Structure 1
């Protein structure tokens, strides 16, 4: 069988949350190439008793977008569409998308990478594990524990955390890894994955800072992954904030970011995930923003002012699922959006 000679990266439109699916080029080990999931959020596939609350949450989010649109050049004007229709028409379910748009016949998921332990990056994990084989599971050595949580937000399922906890405790057959900067395992080189962050010391220090806190914060423990390709690199920073970016620049220097061509905006494109020095060094050709729930903290203008005029800043809330295909031979980069004309009307159009 002729090996798959392309890399595919899919940034799914999952509303409040993240899900990136990568189909790596084939090699001598797997002609089809391995599949990596980075985080998951299956907002669309909520149980019937959660539907009302979920629709209400989306309604509030879209209404806030509409209210702030006139004050922001990056704002969006809402079409005349019900929240139910928006969810049904534009949001992607990760499991369904994997089966229909990524996997070839009989292909399983090689690795699942949990960038950090927030539920908008873990929602749907139980369902994914129940329906698909996953060989390797990555997460960070954090100390967050939700097993005794008194209440769960209606958009999340306790079952997802339980499955996550079982994997971390070694109660499943997954090959569970907690790699850090400088780690190396089989197939990482083949798949061109490089861990820029966190370091072992950073993980230890953040756990110490969070010890005893009522609301521990783990965004900065996020994996920051660099995916090297013949067309330039792709940077996937989870919800990394200032301390994470500072450590990357201190440890690696600016040169590690200079070849980044595609940047997934950290923390859903919010201000606390934006790092001016890092973004300026990258000056990427594409910035992909996976939608967040707080448009008032949106850093669109920061990216717009820091990047070159020809940088494309694409949001999943506007363009739906965004994907890039890169040839492993010639290095050609082909971008695509499920909604190339946009879901909303932009100001001035």
Structure 2
């Protein structure tokens, strides 16, 4: 059975795709604790006072208030699924919330990667002072990006194809060489995002990375027929307005929209997605891990860890 697991990794992305013959990981974020902004937001949302935290842990108070959705460790999750190798790792774009945990995945978890997809664009190394991210993850990204074998580093553009892509029902809608050039000019690496259209037995998914307006403009102009009436849309840029493109989402008309998000963005587009989503907008923040399964007859089912309404 074909499955996509959208993992609850806080403010970041990680999707495990299990094809009949291959396993793919799209991005990784290995945040093991809620960031301070999310903690503050949850304290306000659930009416938690600092006084309460003098006597109980934050997680214990949250549990008593009805919020019990622990973050997922993607490496442990892979191991629990019996996965020790990844045929294709897709780094949608080089932002740290999409590659945090690469070091642990490759070096500590000893999970092998056969093919490493990336944009091919050289990006300046971030400043890691006073951030939650680790320099070792960036260094691992550079190592994988420059590898010639084990893994093989692969740079793709929209419209590229290959035998295994066809076998797996993968079509690449973005990026293009022009978008890569524009990303460098604007210093906006979201414009490098891989946008994947995956079809299994007629059931369709779009995984949009952090794609923004220019990406969606290109997709609507060139692939409007392909993106119509999709079953599952993984919302771009963690559900932010910057990733929402009304013309595209209206065409996509998803059955479900899935948002991978930790802290709620200031410019949240939940209600805008809801307008064009046939059934439900689901957030990992409130649902935990979300798993979509497709059987051999093309029948899809969706389940999540936690069934509290958003």
- Per the normalisation by structure 2, the TM-score is 0.88
Aligned counterpart, 2:16? 21
Unaligned runs of 5+ in 1: 1-5, 26-32, 45-50, 68-80, 211-215
Describe the superposition over 1:127-150 as per-residue Cα deviations: whole angstroms up to 9, x where unpaired. Answer: 10112111110010223121xx44
Using the alignment, how far apart are the partners of 1:292 and 1:318 within structure 2?
9
Describe the superposition over 1:152-196 as per-residue Cα deviations: whole angstroms up to 9, x where unpaired. Answer: 343211000001011222376310001111212331111111101
- Secondary structure (helix, strand or coil) at the match of 2:139 reads helix
Describe the superposition over 1:304-329 as per-residue Cα deviations: whole angstroms up to 9, x where unpaired. Answer: 22334xx21100011100001101x2
| Distance change in 2, residues 1:243/1:66 (3 Å) | farther
Tell me, yes or no, if the aligned pair for 1:232 and 1:259 is still in contact at 8 Å: no
- 2:281 corresponds to 1:313: yes
- 2:226 corresponds to 1:256: yes
Aligned counterpart, 2:304? 337
Which residue, out of 278, 292, 296, partners 1:324? 292
- 2:178 corresponds to 1:189: no
| Distance change in 2, residues 1:82/1:241 (3 Å) | farther
Using the alignment, how far apart are the partners of 1:150 and 1:120 within structure 2?
14
Aligned counterpart, 1:278? 248
Tell me, yes or no, if the aligned pair for 1:55 and 1:83 is still in contact at 8 Å: no
Tell me, yes or no, if the aligned pair for 1:55 and 1:84 is still in contact at 8 Å: no
Tell me, yes or no, if the aligned pair for 2:254 and 2:276 is still in contact at 8 Å: no
Aligned counterpart, 1:123? 100
- 2:113 corresponds to 1:142: no
- 2:69 corresponds to 1:92: no
Aligned counterpart, 1:11? 6
- Secondary structure (helix, strand or coil) at the match of 1:96 reads helix
- Per the normalisation by structure 1, the TM-score is 0.79
- 2:268 corresponds to 1:298: yes
Tell me, yes or no, if the aligned pair for 1:231 and 1:326 is still in contact at 8 Å: no
Aligned length: 295
Which residue, out of 156, 165, 178, partners 1:179? 156
Kindly state the Cα deviation for residue 63 of structure 1 after the two structures are TM-superposed. Answer: 3.8
Tell me, yes or no, if the aligned pair for 2:38 and 2:262 is still in contact at 8 Å: no
| Distance change in 2, residues 1:55/1:221 (3 Å) | closer
Unaligned runs of 5+ in 2: 48-55
Cα RMSD after superposing both structures = 2.2
Query: Which shifted more, 297-306 or 84-93?
Result: 84-93
Using the alignment, how far apart are the partners of 1:200 and 1:83 within structure 2?
47
How do 1:69-88 and structure 2 match up within 5 A? 83-84=58-59
Aligned counterpart, 1:169? 146
| Distance change in 2, residues 1:248/1:89 (3 Å) | closer
Which residue, out of 129, 133, 136, partners 2:112? 133
- Secondary structure (helix, strand or coil) at the match of 2:218 reads helix
Tell me, yes or no, if the aligned pair for 1:64 and 1:295 is still in contact at 8 Å: no
| Distance change in 2, residues 1:64/1:275 (3 Å) | farther
